[in-house]
Chains A and B, each alone.
Chain A
């Protein structure tokens, strides 16, 4: 009678024992700091003033959204960068995945080579491109001058529009390979019989792309876009190295503005509030995306 009970208890105990180290670490290093930061966001803790802090309610939050032009501007900047970057990464990634799926020989090696930009750190990608864009010694200006395409040493970060375009270009270079890998996996999971049947019925490759590949790839594309969208809201290292938010504050992203508030102005409480606004925004975006997905599925059904 006692033996099975002991065995049961032991079996309930074991999973906890196995899982506890990481759960304890997550609680200590992620959950507790997050809770502490939430508490902090209702104070006026400012390291440049001193260790004393008072409870000021939701004033940090109202300031961030209603009165802080820089932060609101950074939301706009982030959106301006995200839109074209997502579109370009999807189209280019799809194109490359289609090309790769038609290659019979050397596909693994070409895929691995094309995937490399996605493996390097945003900081390194940005540094490489900052040098490429360099006014006097950069590869782009020198190549352009040598080929006679441009006739002056051009400043690729001279205006806010140019700087934003440069940021988008670098992000596209950095992350299109990821989109390509995801979509290639999606394309390869489409049964080839479908294409054989379509060809037997006299469909052109163009037609089978529109009525087989694209519809069956929708879900994969949605997942890829979702992941990229969430990652783009975190855009920081790339900005830090490529433009440091400039010119002016035209390429400051939400993460970058929050970093400045915390580690340049030392307004810890305010930065904590900003980070919670970002978390809320990302959560909202995710829910919106899921809702649209479900709506479209419901309409399709």
Chain B
């Protein structure tokens, strides 16, 4: 009788202790993640508040962490005094063009690999090896070739390089999407008299559109972020945001903070947007080098 009464009590105590430990574990887990969030997002937050400060806020101590009356004066200065508007537009135009060109060229190639096993495993391996190639090995000959062809300081030059650099990544991702696509739908269309190209354009593309969007967004970010080719191949008119931002480093570590922080805010904007849109694909995209130009 005593034993029968004791058992549930012991069990309850044990359960309580277990729940307590688990509760504590949960609290520690969230505390750890909170610390990580502060470390990884803190700099962004500080850059954003810095870009909204008035000039007088820089010279006070204790420092102003959150400006009392935020102003957009640094953005205005960046857009007018430093031609920021032009360089922001350059980045947008170059990234958009490269994105569309890379998709247009990569889709048929991915289709050939997915449907006909074109090139066997060899082509896929070759594309993977290209991904590991250091950009520094390519920039020297390309610079010399572009000089001869008069293609430095032009949109076209940068778009061509970005498009080609992006092909391996785009093909790899697209092959995956195309393999998941049921061949039967395509075959049905072709039996009904569709040509191969028409089946691809009118049947396959609409259905894999979400996949195409993923590849496109990664392409956009990668070209937006690229720096080595941009700094070597652009001139005063064709600079991108990545090149503009480096022009603020000339004042040592205490450069002009207002415009510099405003340019960083604009420079990381696409990354924020895409990180949320592509949550599910982040690993695959990043692993294949999706954001590295």
* Residues on A facing B (Cβ under 8 Å): 11, 14-19, 21-23, 25-26, 28-30, 33-34, 36-37, 40, 95-96, 99-100, 102-103, 108, 110-124, 127-139, 142-143, 145-146, 155-157, 173, 176-178, 181-182, 184-185, 223-224, 227, 230-231, 233-234, 236-237, 240-241, 244, 255, 258-259, 262-263, 268, 271-272, 275-276, 278-279, 282, 286
Contact = CB atoms under 8 A, between A and B. Distances in A.
Contact of B141 (A33, A136, A227): A33
A185 to B, nearest CB: 5
Contacts of A99: 29, 32-33, 36
A134 B282 contact: no
30 contacts: A15-B115, A19-B109, A19-B119, A21-B108, A26-B167, A29-B160, A30-B138, A34-B141, A95-B32, A96-B36, A99-B36, A115-B275, A118-B282, A118-B286, A119-B221, A120-B268, A124-B225, A124-B264, A127-B249, A130-B249, A131-B50, A142-B61, A143-B63, A146-B62, A173-B43, A234-B292, A237-B242, A255-B228, A262-B143, A272-B140
A185 B291 contact: no
Given A14-B112, A236-B227, A272-B140, 13 more contacts: A34-B141, A37-B141, A103-B33, A110-B37, A116-B271, A119-B221, A120-B267, A121-B224, A122-B227, A129-B43, A181-B286, A237-B228, A262-B143
Interface of B: 25-26, 29-30, 32-33, 36-37, 39-41, 43-44, 46-47, 50, 58, 61-63, 105-106, 108-109, 111-113, 115-116, 118-119, 123, 130, 132-145, 160-161, 163-165, 167, 171, 196, 221, 224-228, 231-232, 242, 245-246, 248-249, 252-255, 257, 260-261, 263-264, 267-268, 271-272, 274-276, 279, 282-283, 286-287, 289, 291-292
Secondary structure dominating the interface of B: helix
Contacts of B255: 130-131, 134
Contact of A234 (B106, B134, B276, B279): B134
A278 B136 contact: yes
Given A26-B130, A259-B228, A268-B144, A137 B291 contact: no
A113 B37 contact: yes
A131 B253 CA distance: 7
A178 B141 contact: no
Contacts of A135: 252-254
Nearest to A104: B26
A234 B135 contact: yes
